[in-house]
Amino acid sequence: MPLFCDVALAVPLDMVFTYAIPPGMEPVVGGRVLVPFRQQRMSGIVVESHDRPPQVKTKKVIEALDLSPVLDEHLLNLGKWIADYYLAPVGEVFRTMLPLSAEFKRAIACRITDEGRLALHLAGMSGSPARSKRTPEQQLIEFRVLDYLAARESVREESVRGVTRVAKALLNGMVRKKWIAREDVSAARDAARLVKVAVLLDAETAEASPPLDGRGARPSTGIAKKLNGNQRTLIETLAASGGRLPVEALRALDVPRTTLSTLVRRGLIELVDEPQDFTVSVSKLKPRQSPFEFEFSAAQNEALGKIGEGVLSRKFGGLLLHGITGSGKTAVYLACMRQVLEQGRSSILLVPEIGLTPAVAADLHQVFGDEVAILHSGLSDAERAEQWHRIRRGEARVVAGTRSAVFAPVSDLALIIVDEEQDSSYKQEETPRYHARDVAVMRAKMAGAVVVLGSATPSLESYYNAKKNKYALLELPDRVERRPLPEVEIVDMRQEFQETGQEQVISRKLAEEIRERLEKKEQVMVLLNRRGYSPVVLCRACGKTLQCKNCAVSMTHHKRERKMECHYCGHVERIPDKCAHCGSEYVYFVGTGSEKLEELLHGMFPQARIGRLDRDTVRGREDFEHALNALNEGALDMLVGTQMIAKGHDIHGVTLVGVIGADMALGLPDFRAAERTFQLLTQVAGRAGRGQSPGKVVLQTYFQEHYAVQFAARHDFAGFYDKELQFRAWMHYPPYSAIANVLIRSEKLDEALTWSGELGRWFEKTRHEGIRVLGPAAAPITRLKRDYRYHFILKSPSREKMNALLRAMLAEVAARKIPRTQVIVDVDAVWLM
Ligand code: ADP
Ligand code: ZN
Ligand code: ZN
C-alpha cells in the first residue's frame, strides 16, 4: 500500500503536490481525490502513488473520489504532453480534459439518526415525540419528518421540506437534537455516479402530509386542478415515464426551471439520488432523409477507401482531405465513422464552434441513433458530464463535438476527424492554450489511430505537412453532381466611390444582383463580418473617438438595444449625446455593422423577408437553428450576418452571396491576415449555388489587387498557398518556424512596463541560438480588459529549443516574483493581437 500520492491540482503552478494517504484509503492513479490546499478543499488527479517521503510535512488526502480512473493511461499521457508542449500547469490541463465540475456542486441531504429513530419510536408509543417545548403542531411536523426519513436512505433537503412542510428553523432544531444529520453528498454522490432524479409522489404520499391547517387529504384530482400549464406538463411527462426521470432530462422540456422547484416545494415531486445508469437522454431532433441515399462519387469512394485502409492497419496515419465547398466531405466522414462503428471501435468528429449545424446533428442521429454523443457548446455542465459518462461506459462510441471533444473518454479509438481544420475556434484562448487539431494528431499517434483533417481551405501548416508527405493528401476536386463553383465578380469600391461620388455600403452591382434574385424567388446571403450598428463614434470637433474605459478599442453603437458596447470586454455605456472630451454636440456614428446593413437592405428591398445572424441575434443554439431553418424552409429571402453565415451550411436555395468589406481583416497587423481573408472569402463563396441553380458571388473590396482577394475570386487554392508560403518562408513564420507569443499584462502600466523591460533584458543576455525574439513591444491591442499589454514574439526553427527557452523564461519569471498569471505563454499562437 503506497504511503503518498502526487496530485495535479488546477492551480497556476507548474508542479504536482504530494499528499499522505491515510490507512485504508486507496486512491487510484488517474482518479480524483479531495485534498486540502491552502484554505480550501480541492479535487485533483492522482498522477502517481509512491513511498518516497517528501522534504516537507505533508497533509492528508481527505477522500478518494473515484474507484476507477477518470483519465486512463492514454489520456493521462496526452495531458502530460499538452502540459509540456504548451507550457501549461498539468492540473489545469486535466481540469480542461474533464467536464465534471458540475459534479462538485454542494448537495445537502438529510438522514435520520439512531436517536431520531428512537424519538420516532417513543412518539409512536406515547403519541408525541419525547418531552418538548414545541407546540403540538410543531411536534406533529417533527413526527412527520422523522416518519418520512425513516423509510428512506438519504433525501435532498429541499425534498424533505417540500414533502413534510417543515420550516427551516424547526429542521435546524432537529439537527441540534441529533435526530437527523445533514450531510454534504456532493463528493459522495459523484464517487458513486449518482444523478439527481425527480420522482412523482403518488396521491398517498401527498396525502400523508396534509397542509398544516389539517383540512384533510389532498385527493390527486384536487391537486391537478391547482396546477398551471407548465406544472401539468412536467407532471404529465413524469407520469408518462413511469413516475421518474433525471432532472436533466426534464430540462429539455420547455418549462422554466422554477416549475420543478415549485412542485418540489409543494411536495408533489421528490428529488433523490440514483445510480447514473438509469439516465436517458431526450432528443428533440426530427429525423430527416438518410444522408446515404445518393451514390458516392469516385473521389468520395477513394477517400473512403484510403481512410478505411488506414483504420484497418491499426497504425497511426494522418490524412488531409482537401475537398472544395460542396464536394461531399460530410458524407465521407459519416461513412468512415459508420465503418468504424461496425468494427466495434470508436471515432470522434471535431467541428468548429459554429459548425455543428442542425443538419449535421440530425444526420448524426439518423445514422448513429443512440450510439452518438453530441457535445456542443449549448450543453449545461451537468449535461456535459452525463454525455461524458455515457461515452466512458461505452454506450456512445461515436462522438461529435467542438474543441474539447478531443478528450472524449472513448475506448479503442480508431478515427479522429477534424472538420474545417483551419478554424481558429480549435485554439483555446485561455490556459491551457491547446490547439484541438494538433492534440487530435497527437492523440491519434498515441492510440495508433487515424486522423483525418478536412477542409476546403486547409491551414498553411497542414497543407505544408501534406506537401512534405507527413500527411497523405486526399482531394475532392469537384462539387457533387458536377455542380459548378459560383462565378465571382469583384467590385472595386474605390471606383464605385469615384463614379457615384458617395461612400456606398451596397454597390450598384450588388443591389442589382439582389433585385434579380428576389424577383426569381431565389435566396441571398450577405456577409459583413462586424456586428452592431456602427463601429465608431467620432467627434467632429476634436476628432476623438469613444473608447472603452477598459480597453484601447472603440465602442460599438447598437441601435436597437440603445447602447454602446465594447466587443472585447462587454462593457456597456449609454449612447453619448455629446463628446466626452470636448463637450461638443457634433458626435457622429461612423461605419457599418451587420445591424445597420440589415436596416439598409430593408430600406432598399421593403418586400424582402430579411433575417440576421450574428452574436446579437443568436443568443443560444436555438436562435441559430431557427434562422437557418427559416432560410432552409424558404421563410426568409435574405440572410445577413457575420462569419456565422459563412461556414458549413448547406442551403440549396441560395444563389447569390454578397460580401461587404471582404478585406477588413487585411488591415490587421497579423501575419495570418491574408490566410484568414482567403479562407473566409472561399467559405462564404461556397454557400452559393449548392442546389440546382448555379451560384454567383459579388465581392466588394478596397484592395482588389490583393492576392488573397484575387486567388479567392478564382477559386485558386494552390495559387494562394504557393504565394503565401513564399512570404512565410521569407518572414520566418509558420510553417517554417515555430512561434510563441509571450504576453505581459497588468492593470498597472508601470508594472507591465517594468516586467516586460526586465524580461527583455533577460532575453538579450540569454544566448539562444537560432531563436528570434521580437520585442518587447506594445501589443496591437495595447489595453484589454483593464490590462496594459506588452509582448514578445519568438520564432524558432526548432520547437525543442524554443520551449526550452520559454521554460527558462518562466523560471526567471518565478525568480523575479512576477505573478505567473500575468505572463501568458501562447505556443503556436493563432492571434497575435
Ligand atoms: P462539404 O462539406 O464538402 O461542403 P457536404 O458534405 O455538405 O459538402 O455535401 C453537400 C451536399 O451534397 C449535401 O447536401 C450532401 O447531402 C450532398 N451529397 C454528398 N455526397 C453526394 C453525392 N455523392 N451525390 C449527391 N449528393 C451528395
Ligand atoms: Zn470632441
Ligand atoms: Zn472593453
pTM for this entry: 0.79
SS3 227: coil
* Ligand 1 atom closest to residue 330's alpha carbon, by position in its atom list: 6
569 CA distance to ligand 3 centroid (A)? Answer: 4
User: Is the Cβ atom of 323 under 6 angstroms away from ligand 1?
Assistant: yes
Backbone angles phi, psi at 348, to 5 degrees: -130, 130
331 CA distance to ligand 1 centroid (A)? Answer: 6
Q: What is the mean pLDDT of each run of 10 residues along the chain (833 residues)?
A: 93 92 91 87 92 90 86 96 96 91 61 90 66 79 90 82 85 90 62 70 53 41 68 85 80 79 85 57 44 87 97 97 92 96 97 77 88 85 85 94 96 96 95 97 98 96 95 93 90 92 92 96 94 93 93 94 91 91 92 95 96 84 80 92 82 92 81 93 89 91 92 94 96 95 96 97 89 94 94 95 95 95 95 87
User: Is the Cβ atom of 362 under 6 angstroms away from ligand 1?
Assistant: no
Cβ-based burial of 290 (10 A; exposed 0-12, middle 13-18, buried ≥19): exposed
Which ligand has the minimum distance to the alpha carbon of residue 787? 3
- Choose the residue to mutate in 296, 322, 330 for probing ligand 1, maximizing ligand atoms within 8 Å of C-beta: 330
Q: What is the pLDDT of residues 489-529, one digit of tens each?
A: 999 999 999 999 888 899 999 999 999 999 999 999 999 99
Which ligand has the minimum distance to the alpha carbon of residue 546? 2
Q: How many helices and strands in the chain, by DSSP H and E?
A: 27, 33
Beta-carbon contacts of 473 under 8 Å, excluding residues fewer than 6 positions away, are 319, 320, 322, 466, 467
* Ligand 1 atom closest to residue 324's alpha carbon, by position in its atom list: 3
544 CA distance to ligand 2 centroid (A)? Answer: 6
- Choose the residue to mutate in 288, 290, 452, 480 for probing ligand 1, maximizing ligand atoms within 8 Å of C-beta: 480
Cβ-contact 419, 360 below 8 angstroms: no
Q: What is the pLDDT of residue 651?
A: 85
* Ligand 1 atom closest to residue 296's alpha carbon, by position in its atom list: 23
188 CA distance to ligand 2 centroid (A)? Answer: 61
User: Is the Cβ atom of 330 under 6 angstroms away from ligand 1?
Assistant: yes
546 CA distance to ligand 3 centroid (A)? Answer: 11
- Choose the residue to mutate in 294, 357, 421 for probing ligand 1, maximizing ligand atoms within 8 Å of C-beta: 294
User: Is the Cβ atom of 588 under 6 angstroms away from ligand 1?
Assistant: no
Q: 566, 568, 567, 586: which is closest to 576 by C-alpha?
A: 586
**What is the DSSP pairing of strand 572-573 with strand 563-565?**
antiparallel
d(CA 630, CA 623): 10
Grid cell digits, residue 430: 485561455
* Ligand 1 atom closest to residue 686's alpha carbon, by position in its atom list: 4
d(CA 556, CA 389): 43
User: Is the Cβ atom of 352 under 6 angstroms away from ligand 1?
Assistant: no
User: Is the Cβ atom of 605 under 6 angstroms away from ligand 1?
Assistant: no
- The residue whose CA is least distant from atom 14 of ligand 1 is 650
User: Is the Cβ atom of 327 under 6 angstroms away from ligand 1?
Assistant: yes
User: Is the Cβ atom of 300 under 6 angstroms away from ligand 1?
Assistant: yes
- The residue whose CA is least distant from atom 9 of ligand 1 is 328
297 CA distance to ligand 1 centroid (A)? Answer: 10
d(CA 647, CA 628): 12
User: Is the Cβ atom of 481 under 6 angstroms away from ligand 1?
Assistant: yes
Cβ-based burial of 200 (10 A; exposed 0-12, middle 13-18, buried ≥19): buried
User: Is the Cβ atom of 650 under 6 angstroms away from ligand 1?
Assistant: yes
- The residue whose CA is least distant from atom 15 of ligand 1 is 328
